[in-house]
Amino acid sequence: MSFDETIPRADGVRGLIALRGQSALAVAGRGLRVVVRHPWLITATFAIAFGLLAPRTGDEAAAYFRAHLFQREGFALWDAQWYGGHNLPGYSILFPPLGAALGERVVGVLSSIAAAVLFERLLPERFGTGARVGAIAFAIGAVANLAAGRVTFALGVAVGLAALVALRRGHPLWAAGLAAATALASPVAGMFLALAAVAAFAVYLGDRRPARG
C-alpha cells in the first residue's frame, strides 16, 4: 500500500471520530435540555443511586430504629431504649408505619423525588419559566436530606409541598388535610409550613389593604 493510499483512510478515521464526537455532544445537549425542563430528574438520578449504593448516614439510625420499633410494637407513646427514653409521637406519626412497610431508605428516596416534582409544579405556576433555576437548585438540594439521613423530614417536605400545590390549584380542603398530614409526618416540616402560611396570609392582607392616596 502506497503512502498516498493511506491518506484517504486516515481522513476517514478522523472524520468518523469527529462525527462520533458531534453525536455525543448532540446527545449531551438534548439530555441537558430535558433536565432543564424537568429538574426533578436530577433528584431522581441521585436518589436512586443513593438508594442502591446505600451509604451510611448520620441520622439514619433514628429512622431505622423507629421503623423497626413499629414492626415489633406497633403504635406506642413512649420508648425507653433510646438514650433516656423519648416521646415517640413527637418524632413522627406517619413515618414509622411507612418505614416499617417500605423501608426507611425507600421512603426517603420516594419522598425526595416527590418533593422535587411538586416543587417544580409549584414554582412555574407562581413565578413563570424563570423559576427553572430555583427548581434546579431545589432538585439538587433535595438530595441533601438523603445524604444526611433526614428521611422523616424529607417525607414531611413532600407532604407539605403537596399541600401548597393543592392550595395553589384551588383545593382548600385537600390543602388543609395535607397540611395536617405534614405535621404528622414531620413536626419540623409542619412548623416550616405554618411559617409559610403566616407569611402568605400577611401578603394576602397587604394586597387587600387599600392604597393610601
Q: Is residue 188 part of a domain?
A: yes
CA distance 49 to 2: 53
pLDDT tens by residue, 176-201: 999 999 999 999 999 999 998 888 77
**Same domain for 11 and 63?**
no
Query: The whole model's pTM is what?
Result: 0.77
pLDDT tens by residue, 6-16: 445 545 545 54
Q: Is residue 213 part of a domain?
A: no
**Same domain for 104 and 132?**
yes
Which amino acid is residue 63, in one-letter code?
A: A
Q: Is the pLDDT of residue 116 over 60?
A: yes
Q: Is residue 53 part of a domain?
A: yes
Predicted local distance difference test score (pLDDT) of residue 210: 61
Residues contacting 192, CB < 8 A, separation 6+: 160
Region 141-160: mean pLDDT is: 90
Helices (H) and strands (E) in the chain, counts: 9, 2
**Same domain for 187 and 114?**
yes
* Winning range, highest mean pLDDT, from 5-19, 21-35, 47-61, 87-101: 87-101
Predicted local distance difference test score (pLDDT) of residue 16: 47
Question: Per the structure, how many domains does the chain have?
Answer: 2
Q: The cell 394586597 sits on which residue?
A: 207
**Same domain for 83 and 180?**
yes
**Same domain for 28 and 132?**
no
Q: Which residues form the domain of 17?
A: 1-37
Predicted local distance difference test score (pLDDT) of residue 101: 92
